[in-house]
Amino acid sequence: MPYPYPDSITGPELVAEYAPIIKGKTILCTGVSPNSLGAKYVESIAAGQPELIILMGRSLDKVNQTAELITKAHAEVKTKVLGLDLASFASVRKAAEEVNSWDDVPVIDVLVNNAGIMAVPYEKCVDGFEKHLTVNYLSHFLFTNLILDKVLAAKDGRVVNISSGAHYISGIRHADINYDDGKTYEKWGAYAQSKTAIILFSRELAKRLGDHGLLSFSVNPGAIMTNLVDHLDFSPGGDGDECSHNGAYLEQRARLADYHVDVVSPAAISDIEAGKLWTLSAKAVGL
């Protein structure tokens, strides 16, 4: 798809371009602690005057810091904050129940599944799955499905999932998604598996619900210096939030990188793989 903007365009410039579409919308973003990609996204998109930004994260203190920055810069934009621990399906279910109980939030126009971890030591979460797969993918799969009615209630509701170019490293290890309880664990492979999963999820979601008006994207923000990589020796990249803005307002079943529709590994574009993963995921999270 031809891209209408120069490579030099910034997130704030895209917000200004899309402001008539953003104005009045309700946007929910996970993983918005200060100095995160999610925080940068919500802080910049607030300039487009959405009606409400719902901010979610594991630390309510940190989420509130981001909410305060938005209120200080854009007093007219309402915010809601909510705790969400993606390492626990019980926490995800509790958060989704809270969102669904809000009568004053009948629709969610854009859901941005941003929160995640990268290349951490092996750990199994309380629900029995490797931590990258749980936090980066399975919990977002569960949360999205649980609040999907509110996204579908919006006109052209959108789900934006944050992926990574690192997905090329690994497909879905159907025979051993938990790395033999850590015996065969490789941190970048585990991270890559979770990001391949998020791309396949985006495709399958569009396939299942595109006819109902849902738009689904996976976005590769590139190498961005945020708190996600504080524990790694990483080089800085670009701004990152440009892709998130575009993911909210482009065609469905696409993957974006560096502001453009991107090439995806064969393992991440297979409709057969996407269907298998959906079945595996639904069983894993109890849907």
Contact 227, 208 (CB under 8 A): no
Report how far residue 38's alpha carbon sits from residue 63's, in angstroms, rounded to the nearest whole number: 10
Residue carrying the six token digits 């797969």: 133
Report how far residue 244's alpha carbon sits from residue 223's, in angstroms, rounded to the nearest whole number: 14
Phi then psi dihedrals of residue 214, to 5 deg: -80, 135
120 in helix, strand or coil?
Answer: coil
Look up 185 and say whether it is catalytic. yes
Q: How many CA atoms lie within 13 A of 178 on its CB side?
A: 10
AA letter at 260: H
Among residues 185, 191, 249, 259, the one annotated as catalytic is 185
Report how far residue 200's alpha carbon sits from residue 183's, in angstroms, rounded to the nearest whole number: 26
DSSP H helices in 5-88: 11-22, 37-45, 60-73
Contacts of 75 (CB under 8 A, 6+ apart): none
242 alpha carbon, distance to own chain's centre = 14
Catalytic residues: 185
